[in-house]
Chains A and B, each alone.
Chain A
Amino acid sequence: MKAHRRQPLYLAFLLHRLSGLGLALFLPFHFYVLALALESNAEFDQFLHWSASPLVKFAESGLVFLLAIHLFGGLRLLVLENLPWSDAHKNYAAMALAGGFFVACGFLLRAF
Chain B
Amino acid sequence: MCVATLIAMGVNAMLEVRLYLAQRASAAIMAPLVLIHLGVMIYAIQGGIDAAEILERTRGSLFWGVNYGLFVVAVSVHASIGLRNILREWLAVRGTSLSLISWIFFAGLLTAGLRAVAAVVIA
Instruction: Report which A residues bind B (CB closer than 8 A).
Output: 17, 20-21, 23-24, 27-28, 30-32, 34-39, 41, 44-45, 48, 52, 64, 67-68, 71, 74-75, 78, 81-82, 103, 106-107, 110-111
Encode contact with A along B98-123: 1 for CB under 8 Å, 0 otherwise: 00000001001100110111111000
Q: Which of A30, A39, A48, A74 contacts B31 (CB 8 A)?
A: A74
Tally chain B residues at the interface, Cβ within 8 Å: 38
Assuming the A-B contacts A20-B82, A37-B55, are A67 and B119 also in contact, with contact meaning beta carbons closer than 8 angstroms in the complex?
A: no
Which 10 A-B residue pairs are closest in the complex by CB-CB distance?
A: A38-B119, A34-B116, A31-B112, A31-B116, A24-B79, A44-B51, A110-B46, A37-B119, A41-B51, A35-B116
Chain A contact residues: helix, strand, loop or mixed: helix
Tell me the nearest residue of chain A to B114, going by C-beta: A31
A45 vs B118: C-alpha distance in the bound complex, in angstroms?
Answer: 18
Question: Residue B34 at the A interface, CB < 8 A?
Answer: yes
Contact residue among A31, A82, A110 (Cβ-Cβ distance under 8 Å from B113): A31
Query: In whole angstroms, how far apart are the Cα atoms of A44 and B59 in the complex?
Result: 15
List of B residues within 8 angstroms of A31 by Cβ: 72, 109, 112-113, 115-116
Question: Using a CB–CB distance below 8 Å, which chain B residues touch chain A?
Answer: 24, 27-28, 31, 34-35, 37-38, 41-43, 45-46, 48-52, 54-55, 72, 75, 79, 82-83, 85-86, 105, 108-109, 112-113, 115-120
